[in-house]
Amino acid sequence: MIILLGSVFLLLAVMRPAPEVSVPSFAEVRSGFQPSDIQVLDRSGEIIHEIRIDPSRRRLQWTPLSEVSPALQAAVLASEDRRFYQHGGVDGFSLASAAYRRLTDGQLRGGSTITMQLAGMLHENLKRSGSPRTLSQKWRQMKLAWAIEAMWSKAEILEAYLNRVTFRGELQGMGAASHVLFGKLPHGLTDAEAAVMAALIRSPNAGREAVTRRAGGLTLAGGALDAAVSQALEAPSGTGPRATLAPHAAYRVLRNAQDAHGGGSPIRTTLDGALQRMASETLQRHLLALRDQRVQDGAILVVDNATGDVLAYVGGSGKLSSARYVDGVQARRQAGSILKPFLYGLALEQRLLTTASLLEDRPLEISTVRGLYRPKNYDEQFQGLVTVRTALASSLNIPAVRTLELAGAETFVQQLRRLGFEGVRESGEYYGPALALGSADVSLWELVHAYRTLANGGVWSPLRMAPGEPRADTRRLYSREAAFLISSILSDRESRMTTFGLENPLAKRFWCSVKTGTSKEMRDNWCVGYSGRYTVGVWVGNFSGEPMRDVSGISGAAPVWMEVMVRLHRSTPSRQPDPPAGVVARSVAGGAEWFIRGTEPAGYAQAHTGTIPRIIAPVAGTVIALDPDVPSSRQRMVFEARDGAGLRWVMNGTDLGSVSAITLWEPEPGRHALALVDEAQHIHDAVHFEVRGR
């Protein structure tokens, strides 16, 4: 019976009928090949990360035959199909030999050529499920092999076979097998390694003795063969991706790429592989130094100011992290003082303040629905009267709260939303005066995005991580003048001295503007700043929310920020931007100062170096409850100022008239802002108070 079957197959092979089956083209098979790992590339094409998307098998990118070692090609042909270049898809001699061996010694060998094996891989109903193929399946396999040979070249057949054949365990294709078993690309395989891989095709799960015997019949490598067998059989079955430099960035771009077009093709990003590696190593080194102060996690984001390209995206500290899968660039944490530049920028934009305006840094109590709010400075000291420049550069808290009273919490909330802070979802009343000190939750991505807006002269535009993403949707959120003034303050080493001293991690030899922030109980450190070309942001803390011990923004995040920024400017200069046409310089007490044109009133310096106009009544934070049984004309409030000659009362933007000895005002329910304003609309003092219903 076996002899008869062998004769039949031999006769069929000789007859070689015209194929009548549908065969995919080589191009279709290659384009439909899906790797199990998606490669994420940096801006120059370097592989910086690989993501496993198919857990059932391990495939890498399709490898062209021109990139395959001749030794591997020869070993596979010697093992699987010696007459590959002579037959037309079905080898009659091989079929007859297989039938004879089955009859004489019981060995079960199918006699399939490489083309027939490829046919079994391409058609679902021809794939082996553990048992030998039936006579009907064998016939269909032969017809498909003939059809493939009629359409494809021999090189295409061999290339497709080597990319789809299983070598061992989950390893499918020569790319995955050569990488996992020998740690190299297919073009670098030696004779011994090629023989071992060819031997594994015949029996992927064979033991050492069987693999050595079969590989020995394919090469004269001698002693090198034993080493190759040992290396291949001892390779861990769960070998992970080859590159793991940017895990959080990789998953972010993968999600965006799949939403856009799907597929398993390599994904090109805007990241710089060398910078990504340096930033990651820098973060880990600094965190190790802070380990005894209960610090485990951190994140870094670096972007190009001009293009919005993300150059480095370090979402965590890797093995040091308490939650390594959490993306520290996108996670929202309490802001601390890092939002102050946007508040002062708003006040400058609205011409409520100038950089030389004086603000009180004295004990303050504000009545809120939650009780009295008593802000304090980081060092729990008070500086008395300070300029806006000093207040922002030295990150003083009480002047920031007073500035929020001037600008309005709701106005500030709306500006933060325009800047892209999507976590700021509540009303200004919900956050209250604490918003000035960073009570809102923000992400490092949002902060870097917003600071880049200041770096670009007040113009907001999207960040991007893929070269093909559009650069449209720009909008101006601050005037060039206001952005310039904030940049000037944040780059001012002397004005920062009040809190941080002259020598600190923010002092640098090239121009850049920078701000730190520390949230309540030292749970979060921030340091974000920009040069003429780059914006860099750093967060340091614990994903668990555990407080750090004696680690502020200046000692935690700032050293990391400075090292990255210095590396970026190792060969790239950063020069101070030129003042825009709408900014003028004037001499004031203590030196020169910049003003937005129109806010530099005559006699400004004298007005601020002599007596200071102040509102005596009402006191800031006063809450008035009207008595419904008393006529409103008898419940009038007293407005009183000290040294207010020549100034005017302005309530909620409405002029109430000149400041006299005593001014009476009939109260109206609501929250009110009362200010002392001169003819140039410069605000000398302001208070907020509330009148509650009748």
**What 3-state class would DSSP assign to 371?**
strand
Mean pLDDT of 388-400: 93
Angle between the N-to-C axes of helices 397-407 and 409-418, in degrees from 0 to 180, rounded to the nearest 10? 90
Compute the distance between CA of residue 673 and CA of residue 436 in angstroms, rounded to an integer.
17
Q: Where are the alpha helices (DSSP H) in 190-338?
A: 191-202, 208-216, 223-233, 247-260, 273-289
The pTM of this model reads: 0.74
**What's the confidence (pLDDT) of residue 131?**
56
For residues 99 and 530, give the distance between their C-alpha atoms in angstroms, rounded to a whole number: 76
Number of Cβ within a 10 Å radius of residue 605: 16
As a whole number, mean pLDDT of residues 582-587 equals 88
Q: Looking at 45-59, 167-181, 285-299, which range is the least confident one?
A: 45-59
pLDDT band at 604 (very low <50, low <70, confident <90, very high): very low
* pLDDT value at 110 more than 60: no
Backbone torsions φ then ψ of 129, nearest 5 degrees: -110, 20
**Confidence class for position 623, pLDDT limits 50, 70, 90:** confident
337 to 440, 469, 517, 657: CA distances (angstroms): 11, 32, 4, 37
CA 467 to chain centre: 15
Per-residue burial over 402-440, b if 16 or more Cβ lie within 10 Å, else e, is bbbbbbbbebbbebbeebbbeebeeebeebbbbbbbbbb
pLDDT range class, residue 556, cuts 50, 70, 90: confident
Chain position carrying tokens 């070689």: 16
User: Please, what is the Cα angle at 566 between 560 and 572, to 5 degrees?
Assistant: 150
Q: Burial letters for 559-568: b for 16+ Cβ neighbours within 10 Å, e otherwise?
A: bbbbbbbebb
Place of tokens 């070249």: 153
Question: CA 517, CA 439: separation in Å to the nearest integer?
Answer: 12
- Which residues contact residue 126 at a Cβ distance below 8 angstroms, ignoring those fewer than 6 apart? 119, 120, 133, 137, 140, 141, 144
Contacts of residue 8, Cβ cutoff 8 Å, sequence gap at least 6: none
C-alpha to C-alpha distance for 510 and 513, rounded to whole angstroms: 10
Answer whether the bond into residue 618 is a cis peptide, omega within 30°.
yes
| Nearby residues of 509 by Cβ (< 8 Å), 6 or more positions away | none
Residue type, 158: L
Interval 472-499 mean pLDDT: 89
In angstroms, what is the C-alpha Rg of the chain? 37
Q: Are 637 and 690 in contact (CB under 8 A)?
A: no
Instruction: Report the pLDDT value the prediction gives residue 133, as an integer from 0 to 100.
Output: 62
HSE on the CB side for 464, CA within 13 Å? 19
| % the chain with pLDDT above 70 | 87
Query: Model confidence at 158, in pLDDT bands (50, 70, 90)?
Result: very high
Sheet holding 637-642, edge to edge: 614-617, 637-642, 663-665
Q: How high is the pLDDT of residue 447?
A: 97
What pLDDT score does 540 carry? 94
Confidence of residue 1 (pLDDT cuts 50, 70, 90): very low
Asked if 626 contacts 617 with a C-beta cutoff of 8 angstroms, the reply is no
- Return the structure tokens found at 331: 């996670």
In this predicted structure, the answer to whether residue 373 has a pLDDT above a threshold of 70 is: yes
Highest mean pLDDT among 88-97, 267-276, 494-503: 267-276
Average pLDDT value for residue range 40-49? 89
Stretch 588-604: mean pLDDT:
76
pLDDT value, residue 16: 52
Look up residue 683 and give its two tokens: 């605000």
- Average the pLDDT over 332-349 and give the result: 95
Which domains, and CATH codes, for the chain? 2-29+67-168+186-233 (1.10.3810.10), 282-583 (3.40.710.10), 611-692 (2.60.40.10)
- 433-480 pLDDT, tens digit per residue, is 889 998 899 999 999 999 999 999 999 999 999 887 777 688 999 999
Candidate from 19-23, 340-344, 359-363 with smallest mean pLDDT: 19-23
- Cross-strand bridge partners of residue 584: 595
Give the lowest-confidence range in 123-132, 292-301, 340-349, 497-506: 123-132
> Residues near 187 by Cβ (< 8 Å), separated by ≥ 6?
67, 68, 69
